[in-house]
């Protein structure tokens, strides 16, 4: 597509901060064999979308129960984890902070960085060192690579503690990881559950509906809208590339493999189409200034882009469901 921005830099970078941090952490484990595309795909982060139906609030990106979903995602890669904190919106108690620091030092003494939230900005990042005498942590996120005082952990922009450490790694074959990833992706597309049922956040295909609803009401947050445009566009580029690589690795030696390969190729086309529609969207509402989403003409165009993207994604999800059924049937034989 003409003028389609390339935010992925040949799939060596992602704007999705938990995906990027998870990938960086895995470089210090036995799972350093996985590429960034594989981490995005096998965690199903490449298929994520969470949107606030009232105004496309900037917080939609992180509007999920981090410990539960990150543990599921890591587990699908064969990685066991433990954590402290979560999306509580409450500063940590001294006891909670001490437990987190003990876990951090335990993990770093083993040579493995940790996933964390709100280090220098309200995004996911990585803790990769500590100085007990200076009482500082060495951290990196999208804005900074530097020192964070112990007492500032969990008391950043949003005042909530969240740290996750890798505890064990075992080998999981790609077929098993693919089956798990498809299960996570389909559940995310079809079922709500990332926040309370009465919240304004919607995930999966309903996330597109929420986005369209917000444009229809003419109350879209300029920054939040442009940020989600970049994030979802990034994720769907990775989804399409992941499916292409899955298809390329299938040799087609059996009838089942040939069917799975064909389904992956077809799904990749659908997610490429989603990417094209979202590419038009991010050109219209560029990050970070965001354009004018509440202008009636711009809103009508946005609704068209999102409606077309949703239609393509729904067809893609149907193909993912077929792939999952095939793998499930094969697993019980």
Residue pLDDT, tens place only, 112-141? 999 999 999 999 999 999 999 999 999 999
- In three-state secondary structure terms, 197 is coil
User: Residue 244: its pLDDT value, please?
Assistant: 98
Residue 288 has a CB neighbour count (10 Å cut-off) of: 9
Question: For residue 105, what are the CA distances in angstroms to 20, 94, 132, 139, 155?
Answer: 22, 16, 9, 13, 19
Q: pTM of the full predicted structure?
A: 0.95
Question: For residue 5, what are the CA distances in angstroms to 140, 276, 301, 302?
Answer: 26, 10, 18, 17
Q: Which residues contact 41 (CB under 8 A, 6 or more apart)?
A: 181, 238, 239, 242, 243, 245, 246
| Nearest in space to 278 (alpha carbons), one of 333, 215, 233, 327 | 233
Ordered DSSP codes for 56-79: --GGGGG-S-HHHHHHHHHHHTTE
Q: What is the mean pLDDT of residues 212-224?
A: 96
CA distance 233 to 238: 9
Residue 327 has pLDDT above 50, yes or no: yes
Judge contact between 114 and 190, C-beta under 8 A.
Answer: no
Residue pLDDT, tens place only, 292-321? 999 999 999 999 999 999 999 999 999 999
User: Residue 9: its pLDDT value, please?
Assistant: 65
Tell me what the pLDDT averaged over the chain comes to. Answer: 95
Residue pLDDT, tens place only, 42-80? 999 999 999 999 999 999 989 999 999 999 999 999 999
Categorize the per-residue pLDDT at 218 as very low, low, confident or very high, splitting at 50, 70 and 90.
very high
User: Residue 196: its pLDDT value, please?
Assistant: 55
Tokens of 29: 């484990």
Residue pLDDT, tens place only, 18-27? 999 999 999 9
User: Residue 331: its pLDDT value, please?
Assistant: 84
Residue 2 has pLDDT above 50, yes or no: no
Q: What is the mean pLDDT of residues 81-109?
A: 96
Q: What is the mean pLDDT of residues 247-273?
A: 95
Using CB atoms within 10 A of its CB, is residue 87 exposed (0-12), middle (13-18) or buried (19+)?
middle
| Nearest in space to 141 (alpha carbons), one of 31, 41, 15, 57 | 15
User: Residue 312: its pLDDT value, please?
Assistant: 98
Q: What is the mean pLDDT of residues 312-332?
A: 95
Q: What percent of the chain has pLDDT over 70?
A: 96
User: Residue 1: its pLDDT value, please?
Assistant: 43
Residue 251 has pLDDT above 90, yes or no: no
């Amino acid at each position: 597509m003409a003028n389609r921005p390339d935010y992925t830099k040949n799939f060596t970078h992602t704007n999705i901060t938990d995906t990027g941090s998870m990938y960086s952490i895995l470089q210090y484990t036995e799972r350093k064999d996985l590429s960034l595309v594989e981490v995005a795909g096998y965690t199903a982060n490449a298929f994520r979308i969470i949107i606030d139906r009232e105004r496309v609030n900037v917080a939609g990106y992180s509007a999920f129960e981090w410990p539960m979903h990150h543990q599921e995602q890591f587990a699908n890669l064969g990685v066991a984890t433990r954590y402290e904190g979560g999306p509580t919106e409450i500063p940590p108690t001294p006891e909670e902070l001490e437990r987190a620091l003990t876990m951090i030092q335990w993990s770093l003494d083993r040579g493995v960085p940790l996933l964390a939230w709100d280090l220098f900005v309200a995004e996911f990042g990585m803790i990769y060192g500590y100085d007990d005498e200076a009482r500082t942590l060495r951290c990196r996120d999208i804005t900074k690579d530097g020192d964070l005082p112990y007492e500032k952990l969990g008391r950043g922009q949003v005042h909530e503690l969240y740290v996750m450490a890798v505890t064990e790694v075992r080998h999981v074959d790609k077929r098993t990881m693919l089956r798990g990833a498809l299960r996570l992706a389909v559940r995310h597309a079809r079922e709500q559950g990332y926040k309370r049922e009465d919240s304004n956040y919607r995930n999966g295909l309903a996330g597109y509906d929420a986005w369209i609803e917000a444009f229809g009401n003419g109350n879209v947050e300029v920054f939040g809208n442009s940020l989600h445009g970049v994030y979802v566009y990034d994720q769907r580029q990775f989804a399409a590339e992941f499916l292409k690589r899955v298809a390329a690795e299938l040799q087609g030696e059996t009838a089942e493999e040939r069917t799975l390969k064909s389904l992956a190729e077809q799904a990749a086309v659908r997610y490429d189409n989603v990417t094209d529609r979202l590419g038009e969207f991010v050109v219209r509402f560029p990050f970070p200034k965001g354009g004018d989403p509440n202008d009636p003409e711009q809103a009508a165009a946005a609704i068209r882009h999102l409606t077309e993207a949703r239609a393509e994604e729904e067809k893609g999800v149907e193909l993912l469901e077929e792939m999952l059924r095939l793998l499930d049937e094969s697993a019980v034989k």
